Structure 1
Amino acid sequence: MNGLVDDRALLGRTSTAERVADILRGRIADGYFPPGERLSEESIGSALKVSRNTLREAFRLLTHERLLVHELNRGVFVRVLTVDDVEDIFRTRRLVECAVVRGLGRPPYVLDGPAEAVAEGRKAARERDWKGVGTANIHFHGELVALAGSARMNELMRSVFAELRLVFHVVDDPRRLHEPYLARNRRILETLQAGERVAAERLLAEYLDDSRQRMIEAYEAGLEESGADEG
C-alpha cells in the first residue's frame, strides 16, 4: 500500500469520500488494483488516513460507477466485466461519440484536445509504452466528446471510459490491441481538420465497430488465460 501512502497528500485538510474515490478510481485505472482484487478497508483506510465511514462512502460511489462490486460476506472487489458489459460500453460509445461529431457546427473546429491526444499516442508508441498508447486512445475519444461542450456528457463518458480500462487490464497483448488505432485516430483528426464532418463520423463509426469486435476477442482470450470469473 506504499503507493496509496504517497497519495495521502492529495487529500489535503478537507478529506471527502469524493476525493478518496478520485484516488481509488485513478489507481483502478492504472491497474494498481486489477479486476477481481479484493479491496481491504483496513489497509486502504490506514494508507490514506481516512475513516471507515468515508472509505465506505467512496466504495459506494465507485460501485455506482460500476467499477467495484460488493459481495455479501466477502467484501468489495474491483469489478470483472462480462462480455455483455463490453458490448454495452461500445453501444454507448457509438451513440454518444458519433452524435457529437454529427452535431458539430460549421468548420473550422477547435481540435487542440484531439490533436494533443494523437501526439501523446504517437510519443507513447515510439517509447513502446503500449499501455500509454491505450491511455492516449481514451484521451482522444474523451476529447472528441468534449467538442460537444456538455459537462453532463463528459461526466457520463468519463464513467464509460473508466469501465473500459477494466478491460485493458485483462488483455495480455496491449500492443496488438491498441497500436492499430493510432493511424485511425490520426485519420479522424485530419478529416475533422479538413472540415469533413460527415466523413469523420463515418470513420468513427467504422472504428468503433471494429474496435468492439477486436476488444471482445482479446478480452475473452484474456479471461480464459487468467481464469478470471465474470461478474
Structure 2
Amino acid sequence: MAEQLAGLADDRALLGRTSTAERVSDILRSRIAEGYFPPGTRLSEDSIGGALGVSRNTLREAFRLLTHERLLVHELNRGVFVRVVTVEDVEDIYRTRTLVECAVTRGLGDPPYALDGLRASVTEGQAAAAENDWKGLGTANFHFHRELVALAGSVRTDELMRSVFAELRLAFHLVGEPRLLHEPYLGRNRQILEALEAGDRHEAEQLLAVYLADSLARVVDVYRRSEREGEALR
C-alpha cells in the first residue's frame, strides 16, 4: 500500500486550485486501470486524501463518481473497495463493446478515414511486443480500441467507452498472463487497420466482430478455470 500511496503523492502536482472531484476521480481511475489498486483493495480515505492533498468531502465525491462507473463498491460499515468483476460483468462488457465498436466501424461513411491514432497504437503494440513488455502491449491494445471509438467523433460515446474500458481492465487484472491475453490480437489490430486503410469498413467490422467474440471466449474460459481451481482448493 505504501508504494501505491507514494505514486498518488506524485500525482498531487496535477491538482491545482480549481481541482474538483472529477479531477480526483480521473487520477484514481487511471491508477485503478494501471493496477496500482487491484480488484478487492480497500481504499483508505485518510491515506489517499492525504497523498493527494484533498478534503474528505472531495474524495468521497470522487468515490461516488467511480462507484457510479462500477469501478468501486461501497460496503456498509466496511468502506470502499475496488470492484471484483464477475463473469456476468465480463459478458455484459463485451456485449456493450460489440454494440458500440461495431456500430462505429459500420457508420464511418466514405473513406479516407482519420487513422493516425490507430496507426500509432499498432506501432506502440509492436514496440511493446518486441521488448517483451506484455503489460505495455495490453495498454496499446486498449489505445487501439479507444482510437477506434474516437472515429465516431462523439464525446458522449468516448465518455461511455472510457468507463467500459476501465471496467474491462479490472477484469484483465484477474486473468493474469498478459502475453497470452494480448499477443494474439496484435496481428488482428493490424488487419482491422489495413481494412480501414483500404476503405473497406464492412471487412473491418467483420474482423472486429470475430475479434471481440474470440476475446470474450478467452477471458470467460480463464475465469471459469479460475473458479474451478478455487472450488478445488476449498
TM-score (norm 1): 0.95
RMSD: 1.4
Q: Which amino acid aligns with 2:217?
A: Q
Once the two structures are aligned, what percentage of the paired residues are identical? 74
Q: Which residue of 1 aligns with 2:203?
A: 199
Aligned length: 227
**Pair 1:121 & 2:125 matched:** yes
User: Cα distance, 1:98 vs. partner?
Assistant: 0.5
- 8 Å Cα contact 1:167/1:219 also seen in 2: no
- CA shift, 1:225, in A, is 6.3
Tell me how far 1:226 sits from its aligned partner.
7.8
Question: Where in structure 2 are there 5+ consecutive unaligned residues?
Answer: none
TM-aligned CA deviation for residue 14 of structure 1: 1.9
8 Å contact kept, 1:118–1:136: yes
The answer on 1:213 being equivalent to 2:217 is yes
Q: SS at 1:35's partner residue?
A: coil
Deviations 1:182-211 (A, max 9, x none): 000000000110111111110010001001
2:49 maps to what in 1?
A: 45
List structure 1 runs of 4+ shifted beyond 3 angstroms.
219-227
Q: Secondary structure at the match of 2:174?
A: coil
Q: Are 1:110 and 2:103 matched, yes or no?
A: no
Contact 1:29 1:162 in 2 (8 A): yes
Q: SS where residue 217 of structure 1 aligns?
A: helix
Residue by residue, what CA displacement relative to the aligned partner does 1:86-130 show, whole Å, maximum 9, x if unpaired?
000000000000011111111111111111111111111111111
Structure 2 equivalent of residue 3 of structure 1: 7
- In structure 2, do the counterparts of structure 1 residues 158 and 149 end up closer, same or farther at CA, with 3 Å as the change threshold? same
Cα distance, 1:51 vs structure 2: 0.7
Note if contact 1:38-1:75 (Cα within 8 Å) is conserved in structure 2.
yes
Whether 1:34 aligns to 2:38 is yes
Q: Residue 62 in 1 paired to residue 27 in 2? A: no
Cα distance, 1:224 vs structure 2: 6.2
Q: Tell me, in whole angstroms, the C-alpha distance in 1 between the residues paired with 2:49 and 2:55.
A: 6
Structure 1 pair 106–18 and aligned structure 2 pair: CA distance change class (3 A) = same
More displaced 10-residue stretch of structure 1: 71-80 or 128-137: 128-137
1:134 aligns with 2:138: yes
Secondary structure at the residue paired with 1:169? helix
- The separation in 1 between residues aligned to 2:113 and 2:18, in whole angstroms, is 40
> Residue 134 and residue 72 in structure 1: after superposition, are their counterparts in 2 closer, same or farther (change >3 A)?
same
Q: 1:117 to 1:12 in 2, by over 3 A?
A: same
The equivalent of 1:190 in structure 2 is 194
Structure 2 length normalisation: TM-score? 0.94
Residue 94 (str. 1) matches residue 98 (str. 2)? yes
Matched AA of 2:100: V
Tell me which amino acid in the other structure corresponds to 1:130. Answer: W
**Partner deviation per Cα, 1:6-40 (whole Å, 9 max, x = no partner):** 11101122221111111111110110000000000
Contact 1:98–1:204 (Cα < 8 Å) also in 2: yes
- Residues 224, 32 of structure 1: CA spacing in aligned structure 2 closer, same or farther, 3 A cutoff? farther
